[in-house]
Structure 1
């Protein structure tokens, strides 16, 4: 265990909720509806409902666990405490690989909207470097910037919705398209798995548990509040997109909300694009903070190199972990595919929440805040959504998890006398 200074508890309910909302209103609200519509057509509305229910079950499990284990690391800590070292490690590994892919996707989404043609990857890397520097200087700086970004994103989304409905760009008959079940239940479940990528941001609140004031009360409140705001926003945006473009057109464009707004008013498209760039920055900032804290916890648990177990004496942040993963994300940006990153991220994060649900299920009555049925439903849904993800995402996820298992076996083997 390191003798470095501990993380400082500076975040209240509002700031913690803002970090969660900022993480959920990232690239997902501007990009995730495209692959979801391709998979399910108008059935993405059912997929969105399923993703929201699964997210709620997972959120209640995380909230229940965080109230008892209010330290940084999230489900990595919960899994170790309730299920053993291997369960914690697999949760932590799933979070690290999934959120590394998410962070790269967020940076590339920002660059897609903000960079000149041909400069997307350098601009994406520049965004990672700048936001890593913000995180390096303390969690209150992170929360303050995310607060500003969330307000700007909500204004851009509100403008797009108002333009589409107020400018008569919406046609309610387009919402159902060929029917909710035209693509079958497999397509609907695949859309739910893809849209779950958008809801996973509330995990950032739990991973910041070591920096929240009065965590037993603050973390559960912040998780449920952030998820509630995100669900409302996503439902409104989904209905608006389908009414403006129809499911087939949503599936064909990488920028559905910008297309929907610009079809009614030319000025609205650029506004939405700015909102998308800002949303991606906010989500990226939250992801960098969560990755650093989980990495710190895993290093302290002996599951990642001891060098990463360090807290800056002045800024009270896991500076080595944050810098290391900022470098890894930059490498991923150089080789990654944006749309493939969504499926790969969902694979890792769904397994992360599977461990969270199983861990919450084992808690005694004195620590229980929600019925066990929520944890059972959440666990079963996580498994079901994983197997319906695009095949390439599943294959890559299995291979990366196998590599993680091999690495831990090597590390534990070396520690044996």
Structure 2
């Protein structure tokens, strides 16, 4: 399946956007089914919204926010498409805000219906929460449909990942932070085809060799780190390029640090190790450039 997504990205951003629309439509239809099934199940109890399990405390809530932060990585991928959209300075900020608040609205509705239908204890113990919500009123047939929707959502995330990181790799290769041959753009389809082919191969290897559930905390560490960098970078912008007051970037950067500190220690250690490896790579790269320049 990953090969198919790489192929879609390979033939241009318009095909990527077209497949994304189809996937999002399928996922939203399935989520509507889950919400309707939960609401008509007869199991809805608003008192469950206050929690029916052991209190988690503020730290538990903060750690949950950190672990779930990877679910908000997708809208930032929009910013990597600047070369391939019209009027990027106007289109991209609007698209990010629409995507962010749209996702928040969907998550809020699903969370309210799931909690009021099953309760926090059930949700914490199940590996199929949405299927359980849909089946709460006796709609067992929805289990297959919900699983199809989950698979479609995963495909959509992977499609955006390949498209976004492919463009990030392109930019890094142009800046010589990665091998320059990765900066090649297809003469017909106008995509960083070498970067996407390499990325596709890496994803296939990871899927075949790793338990991806363990990567959630690590992914959140990485997302929070580069959002911290984005806030710091935005803080350095000149007044003519600034869209929001500097206090927004300051608060954003501080919150990134607070949430990342609440992640499980193994996620933090893994993230620090990888960042250290990246810094070491960068130091070696810069020294090698300096050595070649001095010759």
2:146 pairs with 266, 272, 276, which one?
Answer: 272
Checking the alignment, whether the CA contact within 8 Å between 1:160 and 1:261 is kept in structure 2 is yes
TM-superposed CA distance for 1:384, in Å, is 0.7
1:225 pairs with 63, 78, 98, which one?
Answer: 98
Q: Secondary structure at the match of 1:353?
A: helix
Q: What is the alpha-carbon distance in structure 2 between the residues aligned to residue 178 and residue 251 of structure 1?
A: 11
Q: Secondary structure at the match of 1:175?
A: helix
Tell me if 1:360 matches 2:229.
no
Instruction: Provide the residue aligned with 1:385 in structure 2.
Output: 259
Checking the alignment, whether the CA contact within 8 Å between 1:300 and 1:309 is kept in structure 2 is yes
Tell me if 1:166 matches 2:40.
yes
Tell me if 1:254 matches 2:127.
yes
Q: Secondary structure at the match of 1:314?
A: coil
Q: What is the alpha-carbon distance in structure 2 between the residues aligned to residue 365 and residue 414 of structure 1?
A: 36
Q: What is the alpha-carbon distance in structure 2 between the residues aligned to residue 242 and residue 341 of structure 1?
A: 26
Q: Secondary structure at the match of 1:244?
A: helix
TM-superposed CA distance for 1:339, in Å, is 2.1
Q: What is the alpha-carbon distance in structure 2 between the residues aligned to residue 139 and residue 368 of structure 1?
A: 28
Instruction: Provide the residue aligned with 1:157 in structure 2.
Output: 31
TM-superposed CA distance for 1:364, in Å, is 2.0
Q: Secondary structure at the match of 1:346?
A: helix
Q: What is the alpha-carbon distance in structure 1 between the residues aligned to residue 129 and residue 216 of structure 2?
A: 16
TM-superposed CA distance for 1:335, in Å, is 2.5
1:193 pairs with 66, 85, 88, which one?
Answer: 66
Runs (4+) off by over 3 Å: none
Checking the alignment, whether the CA contact within 8 Å between 1:303 and 1:408 is kept in structure 2 is yes
1:335 pairs with 194, 205, 209, which one?
Answer: 209
Checking the alignment, whether the CA contact within 8 Å between 2:80 and 2:168 is kept in structure 1 is yes
TM-superposed CA distance for 1:308, in Å, is 0.5
- What are the superposed Cα offsets for residues 185-206 of structure 1, whole Å, 9 maximum, x if unpaired? 1101001111211112111110
Tell me if 1:182 matches 2:55.
yes
Q: What is the alpha-carbon distance in structure 2 between the residues aligned to residue 415 and residue 232 of structure 1?
A: 48
Q: Secondary structure at the match of 2:240?
A: helix
Query: Which structure 2 segments of 5+ residues have no match?
Result: none
Checking the alignment, whether the CA contact within 8 Å between 1:258 and 1:269 is kept in structure 2 is yes
State the structure with bigger RCO (CA 8 A, min sep 6), 1 or 2.
1
Normalized against structure 1, the TM-score is what? 0.68
1:134 pairs with 2, 5, 8, which one?
Answer: 8
Checking the alignment, whether the CA contact within 8 Å between 1:137 and 1:315 is kept in structure 2 is yes
Q: Secondary structure at the match of 2:50?
A: coil
- What are the superposed Cα offsets for residues 133-153 of structure 1, whole Å, 9 maximum, x if unpaired? 110111100000000111111
Checking the alignment, whether the CA contact within 8 Å between 1:163 and 1:169 is kept in structure 2 is no
Tell me if 1:215 matches 2:84.
no
- What are the superposed Cα offsets for residues 243-274 of structure 1, whole Å, 9 maximum, x if unpaired? 12111111111221111112221122222111
Checking the alignment, whether the CA contact within 8 Å between 2:69 and 2:223 is kept in structure 1 is no
Q: What is the alpha-carbon distance in structure 2 between the residues aligned to residue 315 and residue 394 of structure 1?
A: 39
Normalized against structure 2, the TM-score is what? 0.95
Query: Which structure 1 segments of 5+ residues have no match?
Result: 1-126
Instruction: Provide the residue aligned with 1:120 in structure 2.
Output: none
CA RMSD of aligned residues (A): 1.3
TM-superposed CA distance for 1:280, in Å, is 0.9
Checking the alignment, whether the CA contact within 8 Å between 2:41 and 2:136 is kept in structure 1 is no
Instruction: Provide the residue aligned with 1:376 in structure 2.
Output: 250
- What are the superposed Cα offsets for residues 167-224 of structure 1, whole Å, 9 maximum, x if unpaired? 2232222221248x92111101001111211112111110111111011110111010
The range that moved more, 296-305 or 265-274, is 265-274
